[in-house]
Structure 1
Amino acid sequence: MLGNAVLISVMVMVLLSLLRVNVIFAILIAAITAGLVSGMGFTDTINVLVSGMGGQANTALSYILLGMFAVMIGLSGITNILVNNMMRLFQGKKIILVMTLAGIACLSQNVIPVHIAFIPILIPPLLTLFNHLKLDRRAVACALTFGLKAPYMTIPVGFGLIFQGIIQAEMEANGMSIALRDVTLSMLIPGIGMVIGLFIAVFITYRKDRVVQEANEFDMAEMKNTKERKDHYKGQSWSIQHTMTIFAIIAALGIQLLTESLVLGALAGIIFMFLTRVVKTNAGDQVVKEGIGMMGMIAFVMLIASGYATVLKETGAVDELVKSTSELTGNSPFIISLVMLLVGLVITMGIGSSFGTIPILATLYVPICFAAGLSPLATAALIGTAGALGDAGSPASDSTLGPTAGLNADGKHHHIWDTCVPTFLHYNIPLIIFGMIAALIL
């Protein structure tokens, strides 16, 4: 198992990321490592990587358009009103602010399923408030990741219905019947681990003041230019432009829910704001430039991550890794649970998708659990938790890339050390513990 291409590749990616190598280079080198270890060769590895990048093309385009839409909302001036009100409301109330953001993030998964779309709209305007409150942005990163992750694990609505539906379908496809409500029940215990991780991050680890490094002269000039541009569009009080901006947001949400397409939703909002002259058409170049600047990085990382996942699958090492776990587990429920969760952590760290990990794990883990006498509830808890492990902390996951895209809008938040490492520690460790508890008592 130690010579497995997936295991070696993920370790390379994690090590490079911790050494502050840019995540794009880390993923590319990790992909090449996986190909070479499996015997694919340089050329074949790169060809597979490039061919697999299209798997996230829709997501990448969605993020770019959402970035442009967020810029247009900022230009309308409505975010200035929001920030001013929040400055008054949350003055000296850092923890309440962080928990409020966690609640908003939760709504984005179930009640209003926009996923990370709200982050580039809401978070960048609040960075000034965070700095004023001396709020540790790592606490905000943990809060946002909690809201992007815990709801789909535990609540069978929106993205949660998709996630739990995949668990149910894959278990039944591999010969173990289970009702959807039982899948939901099985994930409640791991969900408690997520809540505990959030509380530890917010109330203990990152509660102290943290002063963000002062902006350099270049940053100050950029901030001044951005403020001047936004002042051109904003009014001192509520105006028709702000009302039209609200309608644009509603239109974008409505189209997204109707068509189930983030691309069409964001595009509808952009077109609406141009048509209603909230943002003038001659500002189009500025909107595109700043939108790509805000979300281009995350979009491109998602493309490369998709190619990396394709390389991992093509090596055949994922199936090999899963199969080799059966040689280590024996019939001990404790050992089975621990090994399954750790393997799930490695696979999801590499692939970056908890949803995409479930079918891989279920294929061989259902027979292992059945042979060991584990109940369907325990099996669902293990598969669901193993799939979700690594989604928090993975450099290639949108659960970490999304928060970083918002928190690093001013260049003062590091993706690995300020988002990935904190979320990895505060969520993956509790998930392993509570996932094992669920497997042993259900």
Structure 2
Amino acid sequence: MLTNAVIVSVIVMVALSLMRVNVLFAITIAALTAGLVSGLNFSDSVNLMVSGMGGQANTAFSYILLGMFAVMIGFSGITTLLVQKMLTIFKGKKIVLVLTIAGIACLSQNVIPVHIAFIPILIPPLLGLFDRLKLDRRAVATALTFGLKAPYVMIPAGFGLIFHGIIRDEMISNKMDISMTQVAEAMLIPGLGMVAGLFIAIFISYRKDRVSKPAEQMDFHGADKVEENQLPASWNITHTFTVIAIIMALVVQIVTKSLVLGALSGIIILFLTRVVPFRRGDRVVQEGIGMMGMIAFVMLIASGYAHVLKETGEVDDLVEKTTSMVGTSPFVLSFFMLLVGLIITMGIGSSFGTIPILAALYVPLCAAAGLSPLATAALIGTAGALGDAGSPASDSTLGPTSGLNADGRHHHIWDTCVPTFLHYNIPLFIFGMIAALML
């Protein structure tokens, strides 16, 4: 089992990432490694990876457009008003600020389902405030990842409705009946593990003062540099048009269920209302790609990597070998099911995409071991969620890095992935085990 392509390639990806190899190279090498270990040659591995990159093309394009939209909002100056207000409210209140950011991030998954779109708009202008407060950016990274992940794990609304719906549908399709209410009940205990992880990060791990190490001088893409002694900005018609554009982008996204159309509608309104002149179009594109282009390409490569793992049959092989080894002991079964989920999701980088892979084999095994539908749902949901926090290829980590690294002083692996892995995957694993054994 240790020679399985999923295990070998994930180890390669994690090792390269920890050695500060750029995540784009790390995932590419991991995908090629998976192909070679599964018996393909270099050429076939590359072709299989490239053919699978289209699976995230819509997401990648939407992130590019969201980057451009964020740049245009920055041009409007409305973030100056927001940050000046936050400078007044949160001066000397680091923990309150971090908890507020976590709360805003939670709203982005359920109440206003914009996912990571708010990060490049809100976070870059606050970096100066973080440094003045000597706020450890790792605390902010864990707060953002909590808000991007915990709501869909626990709450069946917005993205959570999709996540819980996938768990329910996949369990039913594998002949184990369960309702959405039961799925939500099952996922509550694992979700509480994430709450515990957030509090440990904020109140214990990253409470001390820390200023990020200076990097080479970089411009803030689309972000207003707000100084504490800057004269207060006043509301004007440009800000009104910007708010209208943001609301319209949100409405279009919710109605059409398309991030691309939502971002495009906001961009068009800001151009038509002259908040951003047409002559600034080239700069908007350049800075938008500079802000979100890295995330877009990582998502494309990650999709190709996931395609290699699935098409070679290595994921199914890993699950089958693991389940055949562990027998029917609920404790041992739960432990290894969660461990396999962690490995797979670390590679694929998607909780939502992992559920169908796991459910097909986990449901019959849980039924044979006498586990209840609630316990089965908790295991499948937790196994899918494990690894999303901490995965270099996940938008739950790429999103926070895109905002916190706007000045080049926040490392994706050591300042985002490692902290979120430790503070969320470990509690998720423990609380997922508790849920499986209690329910």
Task: Tell me if both proteins adopt one fold, taking TM over 0.5 as the criterion.
Answer: yes
Q: Note if 1:284 corresponds to 2:281.
A: yes
Q: Note if 1:97 corresponds to 2:97.
A: yes
Rounded to whole Å, the distance in 2 between the matches of 1:307 and 1:224 is 28
- Structure with the bigger percentage of helix: 1
Contact 2:31 2:308 in 1 (8 A): yes
Measured at CA, do residues 411 and 372 of structure 1 come closer, stay the same or move farther in structure 2, by a change above 3 Å?
same
Matching residue within 368, 387, 392 for 2:389: 392
Rounded to whole Å, the distance in 2 between the matches of 1:235 and 1:77 is 12
Written as runs of structure 1 = structure 2, the 5 A alignment for 1:80-229 is: 80-214=80-214, 216=216, 218-219=217-218, 222=219
Partner of 2:249: 252
Contact 1:174 1:367 in 2 (8 A): yes
**Runs of 4+ deviating beyond 3 Å:** 222-228
CA RMSD of aligned residues (A): 1.5
Rounded to whole Å, the distance in 2 between the matches of 1:266 and 1:165 is 26
Following superposition, the deviation at residue 214 of structure 1 comes to: 3.6
Written as runs of structure 1 = structure 2, the 5 A alignment for 1:29-108 is: 29-108=29-108
Q: Which secondary structure does the structure 1 equivalent of 2:267 belong to? A: helix
Following superposition, the deviation at residue 213 of structure 1 comes to: 2.4
Q: Residue type of the partner of 1:203?
A: F
Contact 1:77 1:235 in 2 (8 A): no
Give unmatched runs, 5+ long, in structure 1. Answer: 229-233
Q: Note if 1:314 corresponds to 2:311.
A: yes
Contact 2:73 2:242 in 1 (8 A): yes
Rounded to whole Å, the distance in 2 between the matches of 1:21 and 1:433 is 31
What's the TM-score, normalizing by structure 2? 0.97
Rounded to whole Å, the distance in 2 between the matches of 1:225 and 1:269 is 15
Q: Note if 1:325 corresponds to 2:322.
A: yes
Q: Residue type of the partner of 1:405?
A: S
Contact 2:49 2:304 in 1 (8 A): yes
Matching residue within 265, 270, 274 for 2:267: 270
Rounded to whole Å, the distance in 1 between the matches of 2:248 and 2:95 is 32
Contact 1:166 1:355 in 2 (8 A): yes
Measured at CA, do residues 289 and 439 of structure 1 come closer, stay the same or move farther in structure 2, by a change above 3 Å?
same
Q: Note if 1:437 corresponds to 2:434.
A: yes
Rounded to whole Å, the distance in 2 between the matches of 1:60 and 1:300 is 7
Rounded to whole Å, the distance in 2 between the matches of 1:226 and 1:177 is 49
Q: Residue type of the partner of 2:253?
A: Q
- For residues 189-243 of structure 1, the C-alpha deviation after alignment (integer angstroms, 9 at most, x for no partner) is 0011000000000010001110122454x43xx4699869xxxxx9941111011
Rounded to whole Å, the distance in 1 between the matches of 2:214 and 2:379 is 45
Following superposition, the deviation at residue 135 of structure 1 comes to: 0.6
Q: Which secondary structure does the structure 2 equivalent of 1:256 belong to? A: helix
Rounded to whole Å, the distance in 1 between the matches of 2:222 and 2:68 is 18
Matching residue within 353, 357, 361 for 1:356: 353
Contact 1:135 1:211 in 2 (8 A): yes
Rounded to whole Å, the distance in 2 between the matches of 1:181 and 1:99 is 28
Rounded to whole Å, the distance in 2 between the matches of 1:436 and 1:235 is 52
Q: Residue type of the partner of 2:187?
A: M
Q: Which secondary structure does the structure 1 equivalent of 2:123 belong to? A: helix
Rounded to whole Å, the distance in 2 between the matches of 1:76 and 1:57 is 29
Q: Which secondary structure does the structure 2 equivalent of 1:413 belong to? A: coil
Following superposition, the deviation at residue 328 of structure 1 comes to: 2.1
Q: Residue type of the partner of 1:77?
A: G
Q: Residue type of the partner of 1:281?
A: F
Q: Residue type of the partner of 2:137?
A: R
Q: Which secondary structure does the structure 2 equivalent of 1:331 belong to? A: coil
- For residues 257-288 of structure 1, the C-alpha deviation after alignment (integer angstroms, 9 at most, x for no partner) is 11110000001000000100011110001111
Rounded to whole Å, the distance in 2 between the matches of 1:396 and 1:192 is 24
Partner of 1:231: none
Rounded to whole Å, the distance in 2 between the matches of 1:116 and 1:399 is 8
Contact 1:333 1:372 in 2 (8 A): yes
- For residues 127-185 of structure 1, the C-alpha deviation after alignment (integer angstroms, 9 at most, x for no partner) is 11111111100000000000000100110001101000000010011111111100000
Measured at CA, do residues 224 and 199 of structure 1 come closer, stay the same or move farther in structure 2, by a change above 3 Å?
closer
What's the TM-score, normalizing by structure 1? 0.96
Following superposition, the deviation at residue 324 of structure 1 comes to: 0.6
Following superposition, the deviation at residue 22 of structure 1 comes to: 0.3
Rounded to whole Å, the distance in 2 between the matches of 1:256 and 1:426 is 32
Contact 1:251 1:265 in 2 (8 A): yes
Measured at CA, do residues 88 and 254 of structure 1 come closer, stay the same or move farther in structure 2, by a change above 3 Å?
same
- For residues 59-101 of structure 1, the C-alpha deviation after alignment (integer angstroms, 9 at most, x for no partner) is 0110000000000100111111111110010000000000001
Rounded to whole Å, the distance in 2 between the matches of 1:128 and 1:328 is 53
Measured at CA, do residues 226 and 386 of structure 1 come closer, stay the same or move farther in structure 2, by a change above 3 Å?
closer
Measured at CA, do residues 158 and 48 of structure 1 come closer, stay the same or move farther in structure 2, by a change above 3 Å?
same
Q: Residue type of the partner of 1:138?
A: R
Matching residue within 369, 372, 382 for 2:369: 372
Rounded to whole Å, the distance in 1 between the matches of 2:220 and 2:10 is 38
Q: Which secondary structure does the structure 2 equivalent of 1:91 belong to? A: coil
Q: Which secondary structure does the structure 2 equivalent of 1:304 belong to? A: helix
Partner of 2:228: none
Measured at CA, do residues 355 and 225 of structure 1 come closer, stay the same or move farther in structure 2, by a change above 3 Å?
closer
Q: How many residues align?
A: 434
